[in-house]
C-alpha cells in the first residue's frame, strides 16, 4: 500500500502544501537577440500567427507563465510593448474561448489595464496591439458553460470577469497545490453564472469547427470505449477525421491507442471504487478488454501508482480518485501553450517539473 496513507487509510497528497507552480515558465532570453521573436512565435503555434510590426532585427524580451487550472488555463505574458499583429490561423488546431486582458506600462513602472475582449480561436480574428502585459484565460468550448457556437457577454459582465481573472492571477503566488481544486470549482461556478450562450452562431465560425477535432474524437471514444473493435480506422470514420489528424492530436497522449487503453484503465478504476459493484477484479478488467490479469495489474500500477486491489480499497473507504490522466513533462523539448491546450482538451494533466 502507498506509504502516503495515514492511519485512517486516506492518502495524503505530498504536494498539497507546496506552492502552486507554473506548468510553463519560459522566456526568450535563452536565445540570441535575432532569434528571440521567432522563439516567441512558437509559443502560439497551432492557433495564432504573430507578426512583428518592425524590421530592425533587435531583441524581443518576453516571458510567458502558464498555469493549468483544471479545465481552464491561465497565462501571463510580458511583452516589450512594441507593435504586434495577431491573426487567428485559418485552420486552427484549437477552438477555445479566450478572455484577454491587456496592460500598458506607465513611466513609473505601473501597469494600467486596457479593454478586455473575448474571442474564439476557431473564428477569424485580427488585431494590432502594443501591450506590455497580456493576461489570458482559456476556456474550452467543450466546457459546460460554453455553447459550441458563441458566447454573448455584455460589457459589465466582461469587465467583471476581467477583474476576477486579474485577481486570480495576482493570487496564484500565494496559493498551495491543495488549494487548486477549490479555486477551480469557484472559478467554474463564477463563469457559469456570468457567461450566457447565444443561439445565433457567427457564420465565420461554422467552417472552423472542423479545425479542432479533438473534442469530437474524445466524445466518440467515450461513447464507444467498451467496443473492443475501436480501431484508429473506425475512429476516423466515426469522427470524420483523417488518420494524420488523429495521430497529430493524440501525439501528446502517446498515440490514440495508448489514450484509449489508459481511458479504459481509468474506467476500471472508477468501477473498482464503486462499493456497490462486487465483481472480481479480473471480471471487471475483462469487461474492458484486459483479458490477462497479470498484464492488467502491471499496466494499472504503472498508470496510477497502486494496484487494482489498493485502488478498490481506497474507493470503498471513500477516497475520490482524480478523473484526469497524467502525462509526463515532454523531455528534451519545450512545452508550449498550444500543446497544453490540446492536453486539456484530451483530459490530460501536465504536471510542472519539481
Using one digit for the tens of pLDDT, what is the confidence trace for 10-59?
Answer: 444 555 678 888 889 999 999 999 999 999 999 998 789 999 998 776 89
- Find the radius of gyration of the CA atoms of the chain: 22
Look at residue 54 in the predicted model and tell me its pLDDT.
80
Task: Encode burial over 151-177: b for 16+ CB neighbours within 10 A, e otherwise.
Answer: bebeeeebeebbebbbebbeebeeeeb
Q: Where are the domains of the chain?
A: 24-197, 213-321
pLDDT band with cut points at 50, 70 and 90 for residue 250: confident
213 in Cβ contact with 245 (< 8 Å): yes
Mean per-residue pLDDT over the chain, rounded: 80
Look at residue 320 in the predicted model and tell me its pLDDT.
65
Q: What is the DSSP string of 48-114?
A: EEEEES--S------EEEEEEETTEEEEEEE--S--EEEEE-SS-S---EEEEEEEEE-TTS-EEE-
Helices 308-316 and 256-272: crossing angle in degrees, nearest 10, is 50
How many angstroms separate the Cα of 291 from the Cα of each of 283, 284, 301, 302, 325? Answer: 9, 10, 16, 17, 22
Task: Give the fold, CATH level 3, of 213-321.
Answer: Arc Repressor Mutant, subunit A (1.10.10)
Q: Is the pLDDT of residue 276 over 80?
A: yes
How many angstroms separate the Cα of 350 from the Cα of each of 329, 330, 345? Answer: 6, 9, 12
Using one digit for the tens of pLDDT, what is the confidence trace for 298-325?
Answer: 999 888 888 999 889 888 877 666 655 6
Lowest mean pLDDT among 18-27, 53-62, 76-85, 206-215: 206-215
Using one digit for the tens of pLDDT, what is the confidence trace for 158-189?
Answer: 899 999 999 999 999 888 888 888 888 888 87
Half-sphere exposure of 83 (CA within 13 A, CB side): 5
Amino acid at each position: 500500500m502507498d506509504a502516503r496513507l495515514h492511519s485512517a487509510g486516506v492518502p495524503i497528497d505530498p504536494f498539497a502544501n507546496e506552492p502552486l507552480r507554473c506548468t510553463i515558465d519560459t522566456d526568450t532570453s535563452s536565445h540570441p537577440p535575432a532569434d528571440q521573436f521567432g522563439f516567441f512565435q512558437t509559443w502560439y503555434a497551432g492557433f495564432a500567427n504573430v507578426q512583428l510590426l518592425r524590421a530592425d532585427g533587435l531583441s524581443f524580451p518576453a516571458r510567458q507563465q502558464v498555469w493549468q487550472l483544471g479545465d481552464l488555463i491561465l497565462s501571463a505574458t510580458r511583452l516589450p510593448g512594441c507593435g504586434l499583429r495577431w491573426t487567428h490561423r485559418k485552420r486552427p488546431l484549437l477552438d477555445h474561448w479566450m478572455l484577454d486582458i491587456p496592460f500598458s506600462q506607465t513611466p513609473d513602472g505601473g501597469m494600467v489595464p486596457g479593454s478586455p475582449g473575448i474571442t474564439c480561436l476557431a473564428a477569424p480574428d485580427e488585431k494590432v496591439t502594443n501591450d506590455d502585459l497580456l493576461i489570458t484565460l482559456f476556456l474550452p468550448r467543450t466546457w459546460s458553460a460554453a455553447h459550441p457556437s458563441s458566447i454573448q457577454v455584455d460589457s459589465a459582465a466582461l469587465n467583471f470577469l476581467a477583474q476576477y481573472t486579474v485577481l486570480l492571477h495576482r493570487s496564484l503566488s500565494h496559493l498551495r497545490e491543495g488549494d487548486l481544486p477549490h479555486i477551480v470549482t469557484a472559478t467554474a461556478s463564477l463563469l457559469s453564472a456570468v457567461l450566457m450562450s447565444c443561439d445565433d452562431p457567427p457564420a465565420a465560425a461554422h467552417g472552423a469547427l472542423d479545425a479542432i477535432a479533438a473534442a469530437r474524437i474524445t466524445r466518440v471514444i467515450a461513447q464507444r470505449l467498451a467496443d473492443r473493435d475501436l480501431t484508429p480506422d473506425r475512429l476516423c470514420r466515426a469522427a470524420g477525421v483523417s488518420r494524420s489528424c488523429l495521430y497529430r492530436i493524440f501525439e501528446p497522449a502517446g498515440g490514440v491507442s495508448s489514450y484509449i487503453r489508459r481511458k479504459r484503465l481509468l474506467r476500471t478504476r472508477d468501477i473498482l471504487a464503486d462499493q456497490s459493484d462486487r465483481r472480481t477484479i479480473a471480471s471487471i478488467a475483462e469487461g474492458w478488454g484486459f483479458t490477462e490479469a497479470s498484464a492488467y495489474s502491471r499496466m494499472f500500477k504503472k498508470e496510477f501508482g497502486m494496484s487494482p486491489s489498493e485502488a478498490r480499497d481506497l474507493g470503498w473507504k471513500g477516497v475520490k480518485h482524480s478523473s484526469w490522466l497524467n502525462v509526463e513533462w515532454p523531455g528534451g523539448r519545450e512545452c508550449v501553450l498550444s500543446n497544453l491546450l490540446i492536453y486539456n482538451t484530451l483530459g490530460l494533466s501536465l504536471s510542472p517539473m519539481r
